[in-house]
Structure 1
Amino acid sequence: MTLDKILSISGKPGLYKLVTQTRTGFVGESLLDGKRITVGLRNNVSVLSEIAIYTLEEEVPLREVFLNIQVKEKGGETSVSHKEDKLKLEEYFFEVLPNYDEDRVYASDIKKIIRWYNLLREKGITDFSDSNEEE
């Protein structure tokens, strides 16, 4: 499974797998507990493949950040917990993405990225390649 089918829903913890689309929204299955929820079009939903991280030069797709983490950790869990203090999170993120924009990428964003990476790895979703490259 690629990041095209993984969603972040505002106000809901964790990540969701897109199960099916409906007339009024879609059905998502939580990667945390497997429960299914119906999400309307009013909810703020982000597809992980569409998220990008600000750097000083350009925006880097989230999948590339996940790939950098995967290479740094040799496919394992991150060496830093998402519960670490701001300074430690920023130090870790500089190792992963040295030129990220400190003014526009907050500690809360770094926490989310680390939490999401570990959750995806735990669920066996480790293919962070670009689906457009495969076609």
Structure 2
Amino acid sequence: MTTSTPPDDLFRHGLRLLLDKDIAGWVGLWDDAGVLEFPFAPEGWPRRLEGKAAVLDYMRDYPDHIDLHAFPDLTIHRTDDPATVVVEMRGVGRLVKSGDPFDMTYIAVVTVADGRFTHYRDYWNPLSLPQDGTADFAGSSR
């Protein structure tokens, strides 16, 4: 990805990296000072991560918790700000620990500068989590 990569292309590339379980590659798309926020995170889960190192620390073990298979419903809306997109998507796969299906809908507001994610607000649905304790990690949540 080059510095002129539009936010929608960068986002799609990031999804491919997540499906490939290439967390280091996905985090490599982040600006060093990028911010990842989870406005709907439940009590005890992080609401804001500041910096690429914090994002890497948070996402490092993602494939050990969620085995993503596809993003079957993806719509990317461009905004009046050419650096920002609003994304509607659904991620499906399975929870590694329990083997149960994983099916999560998301809305994300993503801002890009110089071909890197600078701000990513992830509005995942905590009500979709299993209530039996089998979800150690959900969406981009813990």
TM-score, with length taken from structure 2: 0.23
**Which structure's residues are more often helix, by fraction?**
1
Higher relative contact order, chain-length normalized (CA < 8 Å, sep 6+): 2
Larger Rg: 1
Name the one with the larger strand percent.
Answer: 2
